[in-house]
Structure 1
Amino acid sequence: MRRRVWLLLLLGCMALSAMAHESRPAYLELNETAAGRYDVLWRTPVLSGMRLPIALRFAEGVRTVVDPVESQLNDSLIERRGIDAGPAGLGGQRIEFVGLQASITDVLVRVSRLDGSLTTTLVHPAQPWIEIAATPGMFSVAGAFLVHGIQHILGGFDHLLFVFGLLLLVGNGWMLVKTITAFTLAHSITLALAALGAVRLPGPPVEATIALSILLLAVEIARKNRGDVSFTIQWPWVVAFCFGLLHGFGFAGALAQIGLPQRDLPLALFTFNVGVEIGQLMFVAAVLCLRALLLRCRLPRSALLYARPVAAYGLGTLAAFWFFERVSSFWT
């Protein structure tokens, strides 16, 4: 009976994780072109062919001087327009995102002023509005991308499941430290190279290959459970480094969806990567604490015996589903 409960819990987690990766943020960019005049770019995600029902609302007195023009992309809808906020500009005024409170997405807001100052802020559903600061804060860009890095890794279940697979394969101790460090170093390298434009890879094949990396890791976990020996089992940190290079391109794809500000790029890139590492360490700590708690509960030996194989096959099944789903999207 207890084994069935654990299996049901695992299947429930797999179902939730399959739905949780579609939380791309909306994006609002305001570029001041003259005193009180702004070019507006408003991008909202499109999920399953449906535009997220989030509407942009400016304060009273803000006039549209250039009619909106819309363009459709595969994953988003972009609207461009020109507005006039008066001589004082948008400083001190509130911009609302109607419908955001009923969604699970965020809005990244970037404001560029005539004096060259830039502010970048992340707006959450709990507070579906932003008040444009008259004087930009020094840490707004860093804070926004730090938070988004944490949210991205905690919402990116494919990356987390790969880390979970490393924990199943290695266990704990010094080898785990080396393996997680190698994975972190590798994806930091390719994230920086891709964000800076030095290396470019198409997104769909990268996402499919990330799913394949999880599947291959699940196979190695199953081999270790049988007592077999392989290069991955003996040198997990080398394999983690190689696959980490691939996962870094996945993180870069997330930054591209946000619309990484070019003038803020070094700071935004650094703080986003720090946020990813914080979220990853939070996940590792949570898994290790849960493992320690389960060991203290003195579960039956049979439950502990079957826990690792069930987790490995569950991991491989979900990764295989993701792989074929992402490969099929090449032609849709």
Structure 2
Amino acid sequence: MMRSLWACLVLCAVVGSSKPTEKKSRVHDEEPLSRIDHNDNKNFDYDHEAFLGQDEAKTFDQLPQEESKRRLGIMVDQIDSNRDGFVSEDELKLWIKNAQKKHVYESVERQWKDFDLNDDGVISWDEYKNVTYGTYLDDPEVDSEYNYIAMMARDERRFKVADTNGDLIADKHEFTAFLHPEDHEHMKDVVVQETIEDIDKDGDGFIDMKEYIGDMYTAEEESEDPEWVESERQQFMEFRDKNKDGKMDKEETLDWILPSDYDHAEAEAKHLLHESDANKDGKLSKQEILNKFDVFVGSQVTDFGEALLRHDEF
């Protein structure tokens, strides 16, 4: 089986068997700025991934402090698109969005090579199906704890929605929509449908409060619920269930998982500006950014970092 399917199976197993004590979110931010919780009291790892992109952040984590600062200085010049010597909130927001898009592009490129078996520049549904489910298709009688038929049907449904011309062949744009549906307007309905199917345990096509809380948290015997669980119950009653019928329909689920009134890149740009704008003039000089380099890029002074000092753009 392909690693993408394996990742899906691992996720399903974790969701089905674990008993988390920390809140799990279903909210999509297009491609997430970071998979890490945003907690500056603990570390700035979220900010690093949001600013650099998830792959590049791993490289910077291994760089000596001076090299981190040197590279950051080069980035500041690139972010300052109007060349006025300062980085504005809008410039910072655009940089973060571009880092997000770069991560999506690189993810698609990596997987493209796995699925385009005949190297013809497109990926058919049959190619995707054979690569992802080949082991099952070769021996469908094999015992398994996973319902491959249902998983394959769900993938096919999403593939068909992404395939805008209906030929069951995905070009690069269509395959990107298939892998990252939350980034594309025409994919929102299928994202909502998949979410409801995951959470709706009684099969009525809605998400009630018990299912909503159960998706994020499974109570252990003789233990008190964390405070955030009660807070989420209030969220459900006051904000999620807008028509007050005790459950979330498709429209309410869409408002929950793909909120239209919140821009994560903008929020992160405001956060970085607030953290670094020493003279509070609403913009960042290169020196202000370098003074807060640990917020933007971080550093671990290690010998291993010396092996990662060379990138063409630096």
TM-score when scaled to structure 1? 0.25
Q: Which has the higher contact order (CA 8 A, sep 6+)?
A: 2
- After TM superposition, the score normalised by the length of structure 2 is 0.26
